[in-house]
Amino acid sequence: MADNEIDNSASIRPVPVAIDSRLALDGGSPVRQSPWPTYDRGAVCVYPEDEEAALRAIRSHLYFRYDYRPAHETECGRFEAELCRYFGCKHALATSSGTTALALAIMAAGIAPGSLIACPGFTFAATPSAIMLAGCTPFLVDVDEDLHLDVADLRKRWTSEIKGIMVVHMRGFAGDMAALLDFADDMGVPVFEDAVPALGAELGGRKLGTFGLAGAFSTQSDKSLNSGEGGFLVTDDSALFARATVLSGAYEGRLRRHFPDGEPPIPTDLDLPLLSFRMDEIRAALLRSELERLPIRLAAFRTNYDYVASALADVRNIQIRRPVAPGAYLGEAFIFRVPGRAQWFARALCHEGIEARNLGSDADTNIRAFWNWRFLFTGMATAAVQDLLPNATRYLQEAVDIPLSSTLTQADCDHLIAAVRKVAEAAAGQP
């Protein structure tokens, strides 16, 4: 184990944290004095062996994945093979970003430009942006009280112009895949998974990203696999994979390298434009090295999350986000709802030294709240946009979101628990 990796293997018990019952917001002492270790800020989960891997690629002077080498001798080709083993899927394609992976999935599925693609009103703005990049139009759907895409709402709003559904496993929580796949099957449209926030998370023992026709991931800098920029696509559909590969920029027969045991399942690579959404060899080398340690990092997320969630389960005035099935979350974010008080609650937590955000705060232009996607609603007033998805609006306005870095120590978790209890108690005592 590296020095800066935490050992969460031992069972941990809450440690009482001495607290001043007066809120820091009201001049009391904060629960925590040091900054909350939010996300990785690029640095903490990259190890000397990862640097060596990247240097190996740099020193090779072979930076382009499609030079003279066969795929199994390239970093990108090896990374893709390792991803197939990790996800238990037939195909993986390394891409330039999560957004391009999402767009490639839609385009390679043959969805006609101009079609509507349904997606939830709670996601990062990259989801509707990727739908637009694929030449389609985002069709927003409400979310339920646990912030999952609401399949009943999708059924209610359904129109025959919707040609695909993009589920998002937002903040690491799995969408309700059984209900969604059944519904999509009835409607005869594919499901794509924006699994960017849920790399490595599972639902019923199966990795998120492998339920739909294709799943997309990002390797941008604050993700569990971090190459600064980058992403990948996973799928079992060979024709979709072949088209996505050409679209990503495999020209003049290079597609064949992805099918070493036979002919590619599409007749020609000349029917599709080349969009240059490829990954390069340096990033792939870095990611291959990081992938080896991913299970350790995922275990740390899970241990921290379960520790915090079980210690706060009895707090009556917060409603902790519920997964669609036991264990169907990554553990990278602790989210709860505080109807009527979320903005104040998040602010009080920040004063206690815990980085917390009210997802639907009107004082914070959070790009995960659909009414801030001005590019979709030119000229509309915020209230009119919010009326389009009343439940997403309400539940985001009620939600408090706290990032749980995989590097949190037990002391960090104890601070978080103490701070949430302190603020919740203060809230209970107020009118």
The binding site for ligand PLP (CB under 6 A) comprises: 97-99, 123-124, 126-127, 168, 194, 196-197, 218, 220, 231
For 416, half-sphere exposure in the C-beta direction (CA atoms, 13 angstrom radius) is 30
Biggest alpha carbon distance in the chain? 71
3-state secondary structure of 188: coil
Beta carbon of residue 368, minimum distance to ligand PLP (angstroms, whole number) = 8
194 vs 414, which CB is nearer to ligand PLP? 194
220 vs 224, which CB is nearer to ligand PLP? 220
3-state secondary structure of 333: strand
96 vs 304, which CB is nearer to ligand PLP? 96
Beta carbon of residue 100, minimum distance to ligand PLP (angstroms, whole number) = 7
Give the pair of three-digit tokens for residue 152. 């009943």
Beta carbon of residue 85, minimum distance to ligand PLP (angstroms, whole number) = 22
The Cα 32–Cα 248 span in angstroms is: 47
Amino acid at 234: V
Give the distance, in angstroms, between the CA of residue 229 and the centroid of all CA atoms in the same chain. 14
- Residue 411 CB: number of other CB atoms within 10 A? 12
3-state secondary structure of 37: coil
5 vs 222, which CB is nearer to ligand PLP? 222
Beta carbon of residue 38, minimum distance to ligand PLP (angstroms, whole number) = 15
Compute the chain's Rg from CA coordinates.
Answer: 22
57 vs 279, which CB is nearer to ligand PLP? 279
126 vs 300, which CB is nearer to ligand PLP? 126
3-state secondary structure of 303: helix
Beta carbon of residue 33, minimum distance to ligand PLP (angstroms, whole number) = 30
Place of tokens 């999402």: 102
Beta carbon of residue 97, minimum distance to ligand PLP (angstroms, whole number) = 3
Q: Which residue is nearest to ligand PLP (CB)?
A: 98
- Residue 222 CB: number of other CB atoms within 10 A? 15
122 vs 345, which CB is nearer to ligand PLP? 122
Sign of CA dihedral 204, 207, 211, 212: positive
Q: Vertex 158, ends 152 and 159: CA angle to 5°?
A: 180
Q: How far apart are the first and last CA of the chain?
A: 50
Place of tokens 């941990």: 12
Beta carbon of residue 366, minimum distance to ligand PLP (angstroms, whole number) = 12
Beta carbon of residue 76, minimum distance to ligand PLP (angstroms, whole number) = 16
333 vs 342, which CB is nearer to ligand PLP? 333
